[in-house]
């Protein structure tokens, strides 16, 4: 008996696609838009990478120049003091960068540091609590402050400048009422907490190592994870990010929570570093932090920059302050130089964005 012929199997890869095909003109337009966006991003990234390199070069020249005038500037104690003085500012600049990338700002970080430092000091004063307890308490208080600001900005849609400036004054008022002119003395702080601020491993203090770990982890997250890259998209073009389905409110809320957590963590480290804490600790640091971030290449308009650049900006500002002390220059010039650098950085960002946009327009017309 003859068997019926078997039906040959079909190769799905050779079958014509049944997906709806876009018109060729639409595909070309989308491809051109993507290519233009990619070109804009690469060109802007290149400009700001050069900016970071220039900041690093300026930092090296400043250190070498000060060392030539006073060789003691780079002795073991001088280098250690420079690292310790910049550690907390680098931490705060890291947290602030994440907020600024979303086209927002957090002016409450200095007051959060003061509040958490005093709160942690009051909690552990006269006890034997561990350094881990202090760090967890400070971070939790910072997250709470960050969530309040983040909720008002993201879901309440109140301008970030108004919200965080109001939080600054509210936290300062609460801190002063709570402190009643008192201060936390180092003799009442547990030795384990003070060891966190003064200890070292292989000659390197703990605080710079902690700051470097937080900095590296944040940079890795922003570069690797989708939610981190979405922060750049929100800052670059909020409307396009919304149309792309990015949860803008949740991302902005998370950015403020992170900034608050880092500020609270920095407050705990402030207590460990200095031991003696008053109600107005870190008063005025918010503008220094913003200056470090903007000078470091994070655009105040959002969407551009890296936390590495912000850390370089923090190192540069700290080194300027230390160099002025070594050179016996009036401390007033530190604020003047910081303000000048901030104005120069914002002006440079504006010029770079305008020229980049114009260059891309000319390129698209060709």
Read off the CATH number of the domain in which 185 is found: 1.10.3470
Question: How high is the mean pLDDT of the chain?
Answer: 82
pLDDT band at 74 (very low <50, low <70, confident <90, very high): confident
pLDDT band at 25 (very low <50, low <70, confident <90, very high): very low
Question: Considering the domain boundaries, does residue 184 fall inside one?
Answer: yes
Question: Considering the domain boundaries, does residue 217 fall inside one?
Answer: yes
**pLDDT given for residue 305 in this prediction:** 87
Residue 231 parent element (H or E): helix 226-236
More confident of the two residues 168 and 329: 168
Ranges 15-29, 87-101, 129-143: which has the least confidence: 15-29
d(CA 23, CA 325): 67
Question: Considering the domain boundaries, does residue 366 fall inside one?
Answer: no
Per the structure, how many domains does the chain have? 1
Q: What is the pTM of this model?
A: 0.82
The residue range of the domain holding 206 is 41-360
**pLDDT given for residue 308 in this prediction:** 93
d(CA 219, CA 39): 23
**pLDDT given for residue 180 in this prediction:** 76
Question: Considering the domain boundaries, does residue 35 fall inside one?
Answer: no
Question: Considering the domain boundaries, does residue 251 fall inside one?
Answer: yes
pLDDT band at 26 (very low <50, low <70, confident <90, very high): very low
**pLDDT given for residue 365 in this prediction:** 61
Question: Considering the domain boundaries, does residue 16 fall inside one?
Answer: no
**Residue 251 above 50 pLDDT?**
yes
Question: Considering the domain boundaries, does residue 5 fall inside one?
Answer: no
Among 22-31, 50-59, 60-69, name the most confident range: 60-69
What phi, psi does 50 have (nearest 5°)?
A: -65, -35
For residue 101, CA distances in Å to 56, 89, 232, 291, 316 come to 21, 18, 6, 14, 21
pLDDT band at 2 (very low <50, low <70, confident <90, very high): very low
d(CA 97, CA 338): 18
Question: Considering the domain boundaries, does residue 229 fall inside one?
Answer: yes
């Amino acid at each position: 008996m003859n068997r019926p012929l078997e039906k040959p199997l079909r190769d799905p890869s050779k079958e014509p696609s049944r997906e709806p095909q876009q018109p060729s003109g639409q595909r070309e337009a989308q491809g051109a838009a993507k290519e233009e966006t990619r070109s804009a991003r690469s060109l802007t990234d290149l400009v700001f990478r050069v900016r970071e390199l220039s900041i690093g070069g300026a930092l090296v020249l400043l250190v070498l120049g000060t060392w030539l005038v006073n060789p003691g500037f780079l002795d073991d104690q001088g280098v250690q003091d420079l690292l310790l003085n910049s550690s907390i500012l680098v931490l705060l600049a890291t947290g602030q960068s994440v907020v600024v990338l979303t086209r927002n700002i957090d002016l409450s970080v200095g007051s959060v540091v003061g509040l958490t430092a005093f709160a942690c000091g009051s909690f552990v004063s006269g006890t034997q609590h561990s350094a881990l307890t202090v760090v967890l308490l400070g971070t939790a208080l910072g997250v709470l402050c960050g969530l309040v600001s983040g909720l008002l900005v993201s879901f309440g849609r109140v301008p970030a400048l108004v919200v965080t400036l109001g939080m600054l004054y509210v936290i300062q008022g609460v801190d002063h009422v709570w402190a009643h002119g008192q201060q936390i003395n180092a003799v009442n702080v547990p030795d384990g907490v003070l060891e966190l601020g003064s200890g070292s491993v292989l000659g390197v203090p703990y605080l710079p190592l902690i700051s470097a770990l937080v900095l590296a982890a944040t940079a890795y997250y922003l570069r690797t994870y989708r939610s981190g890259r979405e922060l750049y998209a929100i800052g670059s073009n909020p409307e396009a990010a919304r149309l792309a389905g990015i949860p803008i409110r949740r991302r902005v809320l998370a950015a403020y929570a992170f900034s608050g957590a880092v500020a609270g963590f920095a407050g705990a480290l402030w207590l460990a570093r200095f031991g003696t804490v008053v109600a107005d600790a870190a008063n005025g640091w918010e503008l220094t932090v913003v200056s470090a971030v903007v000078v470091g290449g994070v655009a105040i308009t959002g969407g551009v920059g890296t936390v590495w650049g912000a850390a370089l900006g923090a190192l540069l500002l700290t080194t300027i302050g230390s160099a002025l002390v070594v050179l016996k220059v009036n401390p007033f010039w530190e604020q003047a130089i910081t303000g000048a650098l901030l104005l120069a950085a914002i002006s440079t960002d504006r010029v770079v964005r305008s020229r980049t946009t114009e260059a891309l327009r000319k390129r698209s017309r060709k």
